Structures are given as C-alpha cells and as structure tokens.
C-alpha cells in the first residue's frame, strides 16, 4: 500500500492509538485519530482523587501483555504502580480463603481434584486445542488456526485443528466436555468479576483468548503489572508521543464511502480519506441509555455490515467509586465469588483498594446488570444493591464520588460464533475501504485490542 495513503481512525482508546503507533512504525504517517470524548484511553479511565489516580476501568496487566509493552517501549515508560493483592469474602461478608486447604478441611478432596484438573486443562489446551490462544478469531469456527502466537516474537501461525471448533461452546459446556469443570473456580475471578459475562452464556473462545493458561497463572500468582498514574496514563503517553495526537471532542455524524474514498463529517466539516479503521463500537442496539452510537448508525452501512454487526451484544457493567470512613475502610481488595453467578445478578462481585498505605482513597466496586436469558437490572437498582452489599461486607460507603456504566465487552453468542461470524467479518476487511478493529475483533481488554491493531496493520498495510 502507498505509504502516503490518508487513513482515518475512529476511536482514541487502546485500539485506535495503537493503530496509529503501528502505522507510524511501518512508515504510514498520514493518519488522523478521531475521539468522541474529551480524553483518550477508552475504558482505561484513571481519574484523580486527592493527588492520586484511581481506576474506573482497566486495572492491571500481566507480563504476557506484549502489545502494551510495545507501547511502554515506544513511550519510554514502565509499569511502576502499586503491588496488588486480594482476599475473599462470602455473600455474608465473612472473610474466607477458598483455595487454602488448611482453612477448608472439608473441601480438601475438591481442592485436590481442582488442582489435578488445572494441570490437565493446561495440557489439553496445549495439545488438543493447539492454537487456541492466538489473538483474534480467524478460522476458529472452521477448525483452523490463523493468527499470531502469544510469545515475545509473536510469529505468524497457520494450521488446521478441527478441535478449535469447540471454542464456540459456552465456557461451562467446554469445561464439562473436557472433564475440567472445576477449573471454572479459578478462571471466574479475573473473568466474570471483570465484567465479561457468565460461563454458561459466553463462548469459550473469548474466555481463553483473554485468559490463556499463562495469563491465568499470572493472575493466580499475583504476577501483575500496574501503573502509578493509572492505566489511562499508558494511552495518554502514547497520544503525546504520536506524530498526530487524537482529535478530541470529534462528533462524527456521517461516514460516506464512494469512488474509492471515505468522506467523514466531523463537527460539521467534511474530511476526505483513502482508508478507514473503525475501532469504536460497530453496533450498540438500544440498551445503552442512548449514550453511544454504533458505526452502522452514522455510516453508510451496507446490508452485509448491518446483518453481521446487528448480531453483536455487550455487557452492562457498572462501576462506582466510593469513600468510606477510616474505620470502615477495607484493608485489601476483596472478591465475592458467591456473587459471580447469574442468580446474584447485580450484586457486588469485587471491590478494589489500590493504595496499600492510604485509607483516604477511592474504593471501586464492580457489578454486572445483564445475562442473556434474564431481565436486565437497571443501572439505579444495581448501584443501590452494590451499596447495600458494601454494608454487608462491613465496609459501608460514606459517599459515592463517581459512577460509570459503559458500552462493555462486545461479543457474539455461540450460534453466531459457530456459524462463522468472525470469518465473514474478516472477509470484509478493506471491502469498502474500511477495516474493522477494536474490542469485538479480539477481546475487550487493552492488550488484546492493541494486539489486534498491530496484526491488522501487519496484514494490510
């Protein structure tokens, strides 16, 4: 492709900013990044409270976040944040240690069986499901691997593996099929509590491309990365380092693609481009309180785009930042496994203390409001449930300083995944001088989205 091609990137989150970085690295400097809001970072949002930043979105990373590490190297920064740790409570607010045999004598047989299944699961993933952990979803529904390995070199890998079709199954079904149902006790912590849905509804591909075996073991062993100035700082640094920083407060009202050009109406002015990379939401439906429009709402969406993108659903994940009185401040972050099941929809799943030495800080709470087979819990009702749960946890909130419910984790369900949704979308890449990237094309965490942008640039530019 001509290095002078003019490229528009819609979205100033990790995917869009990374696309700009990787384009620059390949010599493409004629790009513009449009961001609708007044800040970069997307779901990496780190507001400030009394001189310290807290997290309303992404919290942490792991050593296998190779794309994030690319950004760190590009910007000259590193993961210099507080060391994290956590403990566990039940729904009654009692501290428990679910993985400690000495504290759970009656559960020793189950814990030993779980340990055996974790080992078995790791072996199955590396053999029967070889290629399961490559970034993106190309070929999975067809029983083949086509992507880049989760290694420092990220080499291209392509080979048939009919077993990969099983990744379309709900994760619960996938685990049962492989005789490893107890491993869900391990995977649920960094998955459901982080807002990515329930194991009986979400295809295993999403769970395992985010929580591949090495990433999960990093979570288990608390081998985590954080950033002193928050995850948003990574993307603020990248935005400042790029030759063309994101244009904030860009209200795109129309995208027209004709005669080999892309015409974008932004803040009332029409801009002309040769290519378009969409990292913003492709489809939002009507359930996000009218706050977000999808690409097919403002673009000249073709029938194939409409048909495919209308299959996308997303999670209604709610975050609150609260203060407590000193005597009610939690001494550590807590996970509440009892509340990570659909029967406890809307309840507090995890609450997070970032700074170990400071009791005058924000505590952030996390809850899910939807399951595909259940009635959605309203934003207001969910927030009230969470505040009531904090009382039960013996850490009642004094004030609510911030709250957020955002378009989160776009995905498709088993039927559409198995029918080749991803291969149909991948076949449309560049069909209308448009490339589709962002969360839906990989997974909704910052590294997977950034990594997909790297691969997109590698494949097409």
Residues 102 and 194 both lie in one domain:
yes
Give bridge partners of residue 367 from the DSSP assignment: 318
pLDDT (0 to 100) of residue 289: 46
Shared-domain flag, residues 180 and 102: yes
Cα dist from 300 to 108, 265, 268, 296, 440, whole Å: 59, 12, 17, 7, 20
Q: How many domains does the chain have?
A: 3
Distance between CA atoms of residues 300 and 434, nearest Å: 12
Q: How confident is the model at residue 290 (pLDDT cuts 50, 70, 90)?
A: very low
Are residues 388 and 280 part of one domain?
no
User: Is the per-residue pLDDT at 52 higher than 90?
Assistant: yes
Average pLDDT of the segment spanning 312-331: 96
Contact 206, 196 (CB under 8 A): yes
- In whole angstroms, how far apart are CA 84 and each of 61, 181, 227? 11, 28, 11
Residues 272 and 164 in one domain: no
Instruction: Clarify whether residues 265 and 372 are in a common domain.
Output: no
Residue 387 placed within a domain: yes
Q: Is 148:453 a contact under the CB 8 Å cutoff?
A: no
Q: Are residues 238 and 308 in the same domain?
A: yes
Domain boundary among 200, 220, 240: 220
Quote the CA–CA distance of 152 and 134 in Å, as a whole number. 13
pLDDT in tens, 414-455: 999 999 999 999 999 999 999 999 999 999 999 999 999 999
Report the CATH number that the domain containing residue 388 is assigned in CATH: 3.30.70.1990
The CATH number that applies at residue 185 is: 1.10.405.20
Query: What's the CATH code of the domain at 245?
Result: 3.50.50.60
Q: Is the residue at 88 inside a domain?
A: no
Mean pLDDT, all residues of the chain: 95
Cα 363 from chain centre: 21
Indicate left, alpha or beta for 306 from its phi (over 0: left) and psi (-120 to 50: alpha). Answer: alpha
Domain with 74 in it: 7-82+227-312+412-460
Question: DSSP alpha helices (H): ranges in 80-229?
Answer: 108-126, 171-177, 184-191, 204-210, 213-220
> Which of the four pLDDT bands, split at 50, 70 and 90, describes residue 226?
very high
Is 90 inside any structural domain? no
Q: What share of the chain is helix, strand, coil (3-state, %, to 5)?
A: 35, 20, 45
Query: Full-prediction pTM beyond 0.75?
Result: yes
Contact 170, 207 (CB under 8 A): no
256 and 365 in a common domain: no
pLDDT digits (tens, 9 = 90+) for 64-119: 999 999 999 999 999 999 999 999 999 999 999 888 877 778 788 999 999 999 99
Contacts of residue 192, defined as CB under 8 A and 6 or more positions apart, other chains included, come to 198, 199, 340, 349, 368
Is 198 within a domain?
Answer: yes
CA distance 97 to 115: 16
End of a domain among 220, 238, 268? 220
Q: Are strands 434-436 and 275-278 parallel, antiparallel or unpaired?
A: parallel
Q: Say yes or no: 143 and 49 in one domain.
A: no
Q: Is residue 276 domain-shared with residue 209, that is, in the same domain?
A: no
31 and 137 in a common domain: no
CB atoms within 10 A of CB 158: 12
Q: Determine the Cα–Cα distance for residues 231 and 133; give it in Å rounded to an integer.
A: 24
Give tens-digit pLDDT for 15-30.
999 999 999 999 999 9
Judge whether 417 lies within some domain.
yes
Does residue 137 lie in a domain region? yes
pLDDT tens digits for 369-426?
999 999 999 999 999 999 999 999 999 999 999 999 888 999 999 999 999 999 999 9
Same domain, 259 and 333: no
**Has residue 143 been placed in a domain?**
yes
**Paired sense of beta strands 399-411 and 313-323, if any:** antiparallel
* pLDDT, tens digit, 9 for 90 and up, residues 185-204: 999 999 999 999 999 999 99
Same-domain check for residues 186 and 124: yes
Do the domain assignments include residue 91? no
Which domain-ending residue is among 196, 220, 244?
A: 220
- As a whole number, mean pLDDT of residues 167-183 equals 98
């Amino acid at each position: 492709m001509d290095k002078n091609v003019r490229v528009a990137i819609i979205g100033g989150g990790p995917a869009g900013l990374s696309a700009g970085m990787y384009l620059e690295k390949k010599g493409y400097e004629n790009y513009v990044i449009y961001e609708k809001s007044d800040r970069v970072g997307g779901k990496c949002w780190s507001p400030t409270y009394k001189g310290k930043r807290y997290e309303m979105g992404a919290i942490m990373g792991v050593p296998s976040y190779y794309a994030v590490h690319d950004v760190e190297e590009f910007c000259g920064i590193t993961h210099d944040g507080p060391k994290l740790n956590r403990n566990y409570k039940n729904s009654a607010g009692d501290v428990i240690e679910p993985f400690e045999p000495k504290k759970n004598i009656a559960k020793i047989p189950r814990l030993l069986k779980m340990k055996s299944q974790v080992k078995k699961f790791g072996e199955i993933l590396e053999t029967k499901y070889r290629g399961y952990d490559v970034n993106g979803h190309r070929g999975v529904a067809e029983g083949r691997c086509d992507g880049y390995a989760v290694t420092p070199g990220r080499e291209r890998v392509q080979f048939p593996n009919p077993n990969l079709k099983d990744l379309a199954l709900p994760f619960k079904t996938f685990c049962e099929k492989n005789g490893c149902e107890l491993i869900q006790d391990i995977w649920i912590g960094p998955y459901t509590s982080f807002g990515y849905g329930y194991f009986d509804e979400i295809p295993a591909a999403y769970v395992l491309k985010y929580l591949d075996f090495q990433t999960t073991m990093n979570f288990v062993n608390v081998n985590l990365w954080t950033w002193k100035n928050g995850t948003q700082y990574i993307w603020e640094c990248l935005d400042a380092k790029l030759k063309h920083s994101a244009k904030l407060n860009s209200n795109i009202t129309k995208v027209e693609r004709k005669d080999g050009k892309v015409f974008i109406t932004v803040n009332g002015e029409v801009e002309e481009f040769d290519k378009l990379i969409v990292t913003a939401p492709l489809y939002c439906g009507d359930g996000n309180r009218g706050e977000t429009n999808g690409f097919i709402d403002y673009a000249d969406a073709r029938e194939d785009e409409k048909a495919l993108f209308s299959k996308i659903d997303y999670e209604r994940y709610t975050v609150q930042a609260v203060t407590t009185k000193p005597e009610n401040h939690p001494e550590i972050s807590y996970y509440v496994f009892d509340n990570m099941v659909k029967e406890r929809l809307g309840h507090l799943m995890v609450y997070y203390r970032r700074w170990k030495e400071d009791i005058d800080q924000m505590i952030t709470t996390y809850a899910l409001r939807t399951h595909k087979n259940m009635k959605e819990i309203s934003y207001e009702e969910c927030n009230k449930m969470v505040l009531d749960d904090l009382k039960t946890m013996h850490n009642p909130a004094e004030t609510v300083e911030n709250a957020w419910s955002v378009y989160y984790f776009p995905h498709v369900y088993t039927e559409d995944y198995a029918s080749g949704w991803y291969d149909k979308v991948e076949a449309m890449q560049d069909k209308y001088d448009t490339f589709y990237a962002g969360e839906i094309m990989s997974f909704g965490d910052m590294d997977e989205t950034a990594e997909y942008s790297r691969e997109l640039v590698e494949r097409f530019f």
